[in-house]
Amino acid sequence: MNRRVAVRQLLVITLCLPFPPMLSTPVYAQWRNVPPVRVPRTPDGKPDLSAPAPRLPDGRVDLSGIWEPTANFVANIAAGLKPDAIPFQPWAKVLYEERMTGKHWKEDPPANCLPQSVPRIGAAPAPWKIIQTPGFIAILYEAFNLWRQIFLDGREVALGDDLTPTWMGYSTGKWDGDTLVVDSRGFNGKIWLDQLGKPTTDALHVIERFRRKNFWQMEIQITIDDPKAYTQPWTITQEVRLLPNTELMEFICLENEKDTRVKN
């Protein structure tokens, strides 16, 4: 077992304890002299993970930090929904059912070191880091060393001939009270929403609502709106938790590319 796996497992175990010792004993393997993490505490000095979400000087909820999904939706993004809850267009359902046989797993973009994209990358069993500023929010993903910018300055995505489609899309955001609402468009239509193969098209529109519930937990409501692939928008909810005593590490997909050459 490599050090990162051991550290990650230790983090998961200890952060589930009532008073995680990791909050007071950092385990950064690559750094020395790391400043202690500021964690709210109860009157008797114990970590208070249910304390209110921190706020920035301007009063906004602070979403910054390193976050990790509490459930792995990479295999099936709709795992929490009823089997017939996905409103497929007829062609999309046929394609999905064909992919579900497992015959086309090599066509899944991540199997070829191509991006997982939004929202799948946020559900990967790997952490991601939010950097929050007044004009934009950046999310750095350990998986595939990817990143995205969410602009808060009022700009709009230039749809039409001026738009260059991308894997990660173009994201803008606005605040609805304490909830950050992120609107992403401009995808290239090559994305699988999960390993089972739920398809998308270049009409994909993803709406994410980030709500930090307390110091430790955040809820993300994700709506998939792709009228070419689905008859109506559909929504899932993802829970993530703060990892206060870790940092992102390098992820180079090419090191695992040999997996795609395994014979069936």
- pLDDT, greater one: 12 or 225: 225
Read off the pLDDT of residues 23-78 as tens digits, 9 standing for 90 and up.
Answer: 333 445 677 888 888 899 999 989 898 999 999 999 999 999 999 999 878 899 99
Question: pLDDT averaged over the chain?
Answer: 86
Amino acid letter, residue 76: N
- Write down how long the chain is: 264
Provide the pLDDT for residue 7: 41
Provide the pLDDT for residue 72: 78
Distance CA 23, CA 16 (A): 11
Burial 103-134 (b: 16+ CB within 10 A, else e): eeeeebbbbeeebbbbbbbbbbebbbbbebee
Provide the pLDDT for residue 254: 76
Distance CA 204, CA 186 (A): 7
Distance CA 242, CA 254 (A): 29
- Coil, helix or strand for 240? strand
- pLDDT, greater one: 95 or 80: 95
- CA distances for 22 relative to 18, 51, 243, 260, angstroms: 11, 17, 10, 37
- Considering Cα of 158, then 163, then 169, then 170, what sign does the dihedral take? negative
Structure tokens at 225: 């709106």
- pLDDT, greater one: 35 or 177: 177
So where are the chain's domains?
65-261
Eight-class DSSP state of 100: H
Eight-class DSSP state of 172: E
